[in-house]
Copies of this chain bind each other. A is one copy, B any other.
Amino acid sequence: MKAEIISIGTELLLGEITDTNAAYLASQLPLLGIDLHFISTVGDNKQRLIETLNHAWQRSDIIITTGGLGPTEDDITREAIAEFFQEPITIDQSLVNQFKELFKRFNMDMPESNIKQASIIPSAGVIANPRGTAPGWWVERAEHVIIAMPGPPGEMQQMWSNVVAPQLQKKYCDAIIYSKTLKTFSLSEAKVGELTRTYLLAKNPTVGIYAKPDGIHLRITAKAETLGSAEELVNKAAGEIHEILGKYIWGSDSDTLEGIIANLLITNNMNLAVIEAGTGGILANTITNIPESSKFFRYGIVINRDDLKREYGINDDIIEQYGMVSQEVACKMASAIKAKYETSFGIGLIGVTEPDELNNKLGTIVIGIENNAGKHGFKKIYPGTRMQVKQRAAIAALYELKNILTEETKCT
């Protein structure tokens, strides 16, 4: 099955918004075993949309449009599809009544312009939109399907997962596709590639490798007749890759490092305090993106190196012996903050993030982590801009904390 996406909206052609809908749908279609051959973007212009539908109809079986289903004059998707099929538009009174109900719930009168969104043509089935007043259309003619969905990503994605994806699966899927993403940190893309080479060359499951801000991801995808067999193929490969990469794999699918750490700390009734120099609070900020972080995040300090020496007793001896940007200093920071706030964990982080600072050591970071069982020091060097080094420093600290937490909780 060949699919094609048409994104509709003049704001896309003016570069005022980026087309995330196309990227979302593009990532979903492979899971149904449907190949995407083209994405087209057109403005709110009926003739150009009809021309684009015409091209698409000639070369694709499934045409998915997003956008242009709103209530205003410049929303022309319904009209273009009707004209393309030469079918008359009528108003579906039951939809009008639904809209009126919806407005009533918010104590509002329905504006007249919304009636336009209840338009329908004989070949179109209505796709419900629980999040708004723009229903979708499912139009089948001559072995082709046109699926029209609204542009707001929240509405479109819900319509996709509730109705469109299951219906496409039922209609076209002779095979089921199942995918799992393994997330690694601390190894280069080349190293992960080298270690998993046989999997990268395999046909089913296939494995793709992607560099992301939180490390190198491996996406394992299998095709089979049933979901069970597809899952089995994926899980077998995932298990084997786990054997190879070990602790470098920190999570899978929608996991985040801060989410995993939050779970581990809350479950084990632990808490932490952090002190950062040069990374400007990004570690505290990342950890506290978790809504329940007040349960375990006790204290954060963003300090400069002079105050660090003064307030935390980093004396000249230790600096002379190891240097300011050293694991030893980071461990001293961790130890001090842990003692001061009596937490389960103390983390010290120093990053060299200003260009030309400290004899071109830009990108050097050191991490100290202390808990009741002992202390751990790490040193890493990352390329990139100040913001990239800050981000990488926070991820690195969370990754090392996660490893220590997992080791700890394993033993209890």
A residues near B (Cβ < 8 Å) are 7, 12-20, 22-30, 36-43, 45, 48, 51-52, 55, 59, 208, 210, 278-285, 287-289, 291-294, 297-304, 307, 341, 353-355, 386-387, 390
Residue numbers in B under 8 Å from A280 (CB-CB): 284-285, 287-289, 293, 297, 300
Q: Identify whether the interface residues of A are mostly helix, strand, loop, or mixed.
A: mixed
Residue numbers in B under 8 Å from A282 (CB-CB): 281, 285, 288
Q: Are B18 and A18 in contact (CB under 8 A)?
A: yes
Q: Are A26 and B38 in contact (CB under 8 A)?
A: no
Q: Are A288 and B304 in contact (CB under 8 A)?
A: no
- The CA-CA distance from A299 to B307 in the complex, in Å, is 9
- The CA-CA distance from A30 to B10 in the complex, in Å, is 12
Q: Are A39 and B38 in contact (CB under 8 A)?
A: no
Residue numbers in B under 8 Å from A307 (CB-CB): 298-299, 341
Residue numbers in B under 8 Å from A390 (CB-CB): 285, 288-289
Besides A13-B38, A38-B42, A289-B386, 8 new A-B residue pairs in contact (Cβ under 8 A), listed by A number: A12-B23, A15-B23, A18-B18, A19-B22, A40-B41, A280-B284, A284-B302, A299-B307
Q: Are A12 and B27 in contact (CB under 8 A)?
A: no
Residue of B nearest to A341 (CB): B307
Residue numbers in B under 8 Å from A25 (CB-CB): 15
Q: Are A299 and B298 in contact (CB under 8 A)?
A: no
Residue numbers in B under 8 Å from A42 (CB-CB): 37-38
Residue numbers in B under 8 Å from A27 (CB-CB): 14-16
- The CA-CA distance from A299 to B310 in the complex, in Å, is 13
- The CA-CA distance from A25 to B134 in the complex, in Å, is 30
- The CA-CA distance from A143 to B261 in the complex, in Å, is 60
Q: Are A299 and B291 in contact (CB under 8 A)?
A: no
Residue numbers in B under 8 Å from A14 (CB-CB): 26-27, 30, 36
Residue numbers in B under 8 Å from A12 (CB-CB): 23, 26, 39
Residue numbers in B under 8 Å from A52 (CB-CB): 38
Which of B29, B40, B300, B355 interacts with A291 by CB under 8 Å?
Answer: B355
Residue numbers in B under 8 Å from A279 (CB-CB): 288
Given the contacts A15-B27, A37-B48, A281 and B288 also touching, CB distance less than 8 Å: yes
Closest 5 CB pairs of A and B: A280-B288, A15-B27, A300-B302, A15-B26, A281-B284
Q: Are A23 and B19 in contact (CB under 8 A)?
A: yes
- The CA-CA distance from A284 to B13 in the complex, in Å, is 37
- The CA-CA distance from A70 to B132 in the complex, in Å, is 44
Q: Are A22 and B41 in contact (CB under 8 A)?
A: yes
Instruction: Select the residue from A14, A281, A287, A303 with max chain B CB neighbours within 10 A.
Output: A281
Residue numbers in B under 8 Å from A353 (CB-CB): 291
Given the contacts A18-B20, A19-B19, A282-B285, A13 and B40 also touching, CB distance less than 8 Å: no
Q: Are A19 and B18 in contact (CB under 8 A)?
A: yes
Instruction: Select the residue from A18, A36, A278, A285 with max chain B CB neighbours within 10 A.
Output: A285
Please list 26 pairs of residues, one from A and one from B, whose beta carbons are closer than 8 Å in the complex, sorted by A's number: A13-B26, A14-B30, A15-B23, A15-B26, A15-B27, A16-B210, A18-B20, A19-B22, A19-B23, A37-B42, A38-B48, A39-B40, A40-B40, A51-B59, A280-B289, A280-B293, A281-B283, A281-B284, A281-B285, A282-B285, A292-B354, A294-B354, A297-B302, A298-B307, A299-B304, A300-B303
